[in-house]
Amino acid sequence: MKISYSFVSKHTTEYRHAIRHGRPLFELMEENGDLARNEGSIVRRMLLYGLGNHWIVGKESLKACLSILGTRVQMGQTSFPVASDMVGYGYANLTHATSTDAIICYMPDPVCGRLAMQLMDPEWALGDIKGRPSSWWLRKMKEIFSQGLCRPEKGDFGEIMVALYFLVCADVLRRRDNHNHTTFSVSLEDWIEQLTTGGLERRQGHRSNVDILPKRKSKRLLAAKSQGSRQKMTAEKVDETMAEAYEVEVEASISFIQVCQNYLRACEADWEGFCLQDFLSYMYASGTAFYVFPGCPIVDLVIPIKLSGQRKHYFAPMVISIKSHAFYSPADARWECQRMAERFKRIKESNDKEVFEFFPGALCLLVVFGSTAVSDDNDLTLGHSAVRELAKKKVFSRVLRIPAKDAFAGFCDTFCTLTSKIMFGTSEVFASHSFVRAYCMDDNTEELNTRSALRYSPGKEESELLQNLHEQFKSGYSTSGSL
């Protein structure tokens, strides 16, 4: 497999290069110099012909917001009348419909994706249309799902919210480095910091991989030369050490402004397709990541990573498994990480070089979302070391536990509200009703331990309900065993 060389001319932007991967009409408009002056019309169509800032209020507001959010993260199924408006007036595509439901999708399109990204920037304005902050969009997503205007195709809110969280964290970096929104790529290391801190902790000033990794190279080269002079190292050993140092010196970046749906089952049998350079290069250049097909047993999202060296670059996949649980143990996380890594190791160890010549390594990321428990994943915790591991073309796993608090008005809190956390916990109490009685038949049981009785981490309501049941059973229990 050939390794790609520079694909973006120094005379253009990543946005302009990405346009050719979207709608042919927009590409033609860009070539003729008509695209920029027609952005207002495109935005209004995305807002279902919303005029000025009137699209943010009123009964039609949620449909306009659904159109923008769907452009970035694909929101799922909706009613036929709503789908009709979004297809007829906006840029949605109808893929299936019944008398009551409709499945729509938004095709990868850098023009629409960039405008949707700008609408999520509170400092952006196009005429009288102004962007709104991430916290505002998160509230709109909550309203859309809670009112039943739309529902995820697979019933999994977690995947959509994690995808939006990934995008919002990258948007923070994009706005910091490029106010024109024409640069899609951001440093992988900086993005990881945003993910792990929820945007609440920021560095003193901006540092990119260029500022960090070359220093590591210099120290290793100096150490190699010093050791060679003292111990008279052979030329071969010095060259080997220098080669290793150059291998570590890379810049890693991600570049996606949309997460689209990929229903192709090519990855079901093997994951070779995730490593193909032409495929990853296309995804990176178009600014797209994707959800895998519904029912895929291991992963949920795939994101391309670009690794740039001295004169060449290549791409590696980041495969992501999302677990939306109130509690997910480190042991379970480690097992899930191993399961992902095994799929890539089989490819790396394959001897069929005619089919697969170049293996770029891979990052297998387990995302735990919605967990209120604090767990220590030790060596698997996601951090800056991921860049060094990628530079060595390794297959490795990491765990990201999205923080309960963030700078975007609370992704975890919104998710827990949408999934009716309290009702779910109460349902476990009801389902365990007869077993509560069985526990209470022991005269020595003065108080029922709610944490041991329920796998779900109970809130105040569940604990009180369980304890009330316990007291009722204890007070009504007789030696005959009847209540």
Two tokens, residue 144: 């859309």
pLDDT score recorded for residue 424: 52
Measure the CA–CA gap between 393 and 362, rounded to whole angstroms. Answer: 7
Calculate Rg over the CA atoms of the chain: 26
Element (DSSP H or E) covering residue 302 = strand 301-308
Two tokens, residue 327: 């509690």
pTM above 0.75, yes or no: yes
Q: Which residues contact 127 (CB under 8 A, 6 or more apart)?
A: 40, 52
pLDDT score recorded for residue 435: 73
Contact 131, 168 (CB under 8 A): no
pLDDT score recorded for residue 307: 95
Other Cβ atoms less than 10 A from the Cβ of 247: the count is: 14
Average pLDDT per 10 consecutive residues for the chain, totaling 483 residues = 44 90 95 95 93 80 94 91 91 86 89 97 92 94 90 81 96 88 95 93 42 40 48 43 51 96 83 90 96 88 91 92 88 94 81 65 94 82 93 94 90 80 57 71 60 52 69 60 40
Measure the CA–CA gap between 157 and 7, rounded to whole angstroms. Answer: 36
Q: Where are the chain's structural domains?
A: 35-151, 156-419, 420-476
Give the DSSP per-residue string, 414-457.
HHHHHTTHHHHHHHHHHHTHHHHHHHHTSTT--S--HHHH-SS-
Measure the CA–CA gap between 402 and 293, rounded to whole angstroms. Answer: 24
The one-letter amino acid code at 294 reads: P
pLDDT score recorded for residue 37: 94
pLDDT score recorded for residue 229: 46
* HEC profile of 119-142: HCCCCCEECCEECCCHHHHHHHHH
| pLDDT tens-digit readout, 426-466 | 666 677 777 767 766 666 566 655 555 554 455 556 667 77
Angstrom distances, CA of residue 15 to CA of 8, 57, 139: 10, 31, 29
Two tokens, residue 143: 């309203």
Measure the CA–CA gap between 123 and 130, rounded to whole angstroms. Answer: 8
Output the CA angle 452-457-461, nearest 5 degrees: 100
pLDDT score recorded for residue 372: 67
Q: Compute, in degrees rounded to 10, the torsion defined by CA atoms 436, 437, 442, 444.
A: 60
| pLDDT tens-digit readout, 108-124 | 999 999 999 999 999 99
Contact 454, 466 (CB under 8 A): yes
Two tokens, residue 131: 């962007």
pLDDT score recorded for residue 364: 97
Q: Which residues contact 121 (CB under 8 A, 6 or more apart)?
A: 131, 171, 175, 181
Among 122, 123, 257, 254, which residue's Cα sits nearest to residue 182? 257
pLDDT score recorded for residue 328: 87
Two tokens, residue 326: 């109130």
Q: Strand, helix or coil at 478? A: coil
Query: What DSSP state is assigned to residue 294?
Result: T
